[in-house]
Structure formats: structure tokens, C-alpha cells
Amino acid sequence: MTKEDVRLVDDYLSVPTDLKQKFLSELKAAWNDEHNALEEFVLEFNKKKYSTIVSEESNWNDEGKYQFKNITYQFVSFDDKEKPYVCGNNIIDKYNLFLDVPTSKTGSYYTEYYYQFDFPTVLEAKITTVPEVIIPEHKIIEYIPAS
């Protein structure tokens, strides 16, 4: 983690409670464990559009019959005048709300892959200052369960 990472997290906005509740209830209604609903999920709330972007994606961990990975998304608002979906050029605000989606797949190169997407764990990013003990005081980013 760099000082730039900490600065970025410091700039993220907090999601108002009513918006977070609306987002999570709409997401639960749209969720299907065979299709990652976050890939094209758009929420309109108070005349503003919200969606998610991929923040981090792990590599597939091969454990024989099944392979696993995690995809972490960040909640954002975007302007849909140019494009009806979120992309790098139309993001208005980034929020400190993250969604971690555990993903598994089974199958092989020779057959079809079958994917399973668990419902996301909702996390909020916050900066924590670690006091000086042996190493100098520094800041870290912690992801805590959202309330």
C-alpha cells in the first residue's frame, strides 16, 4: 500500500444510509448465483445513476474440481449522458463502499465452465493510523463489514 492509496481512500465519499439500503435491497432482488449481477447493475436514486466498478480481482486458485477467486467492486455514481453504463470517463464520485464477490467455477477447457457467484460481502474502506511501536507511525486501509 502506498501513500497514494491512502490519499485515494481519504477522497472517497461515504454512502448515505438511505442510498445504501436502497442499493442493497435492489441488489438482493436482482441477485442470481449463476450470473454476477454487479457486472451490469445500475441504480437510479434521486435522479442520479449509481453502479459498481471492478476495484480488485484475484487470480483463479485451482483446487482440483473447483477453482476460486474473489472480485471486489467499488460503488460509484456516474453520468449516463454520454454512455448508458459506467466507464472511466463518466464516473462522478467514488464511494467507500466495496462489495467482495466470492466466485467459483467448475468444468474444463474441453467442456463448459459453470460459474457460481456468492452474494457479496459489503465492506467499507476506512483509514486507520497505526501508532509507532517499532516501526514509524503509518496509515493502513482497513475493510470492515458495513453496518
Q: How confident is the model at residue 32 (pLDDT cuts 50, 70, 90)?
A: confident
- Cα 76 to chain centroid, rounded: 10
Q: What is the pLDDT of residues 77-118, one digit of tens each?
A: 999 888 888 888 899 999 999 999 999 999 887 888 899 999
pLDDT at 110: 84
CB atoms < 10 A from the CB of 19, how many?
19
59-64-70 Cα angle (round to 5) = 25
**Cα 49 to Cα 87: distance, rounded to the nearest angstrom:** 12
Beta bridge partners of 50: 43, 77
Distances (CA, A) of 79 to 54, 73, 74, 89, 93: 18, 18, 16, 9, 10
Q: How confident is the model at residue 5 (pLDDT cuts 50, 70, 90)?
A: low
Q: Which residues contact 46 (CB under 8 A, 6 or more apart)?
A: 19
The answer, yes or no, to whether residue 1 has pLDDT greater than 60, is: no
pLDDT at 49: 94
Instruction: Report percent pLDDT > 90 for the chain.
Output: 52
Q: Which residues contact 79 (CB under 8 A, 6 or more apart)?
A: 49, 90, 92
On average, the pLDDT of the chain sits at 87
pLDDT at 146: 81
pLDDT at 6: 67
Q: What is the mean pLDDT of residues 119-139?
A: 82
pLDDT at 2: 60
pLDDT at 4: 65
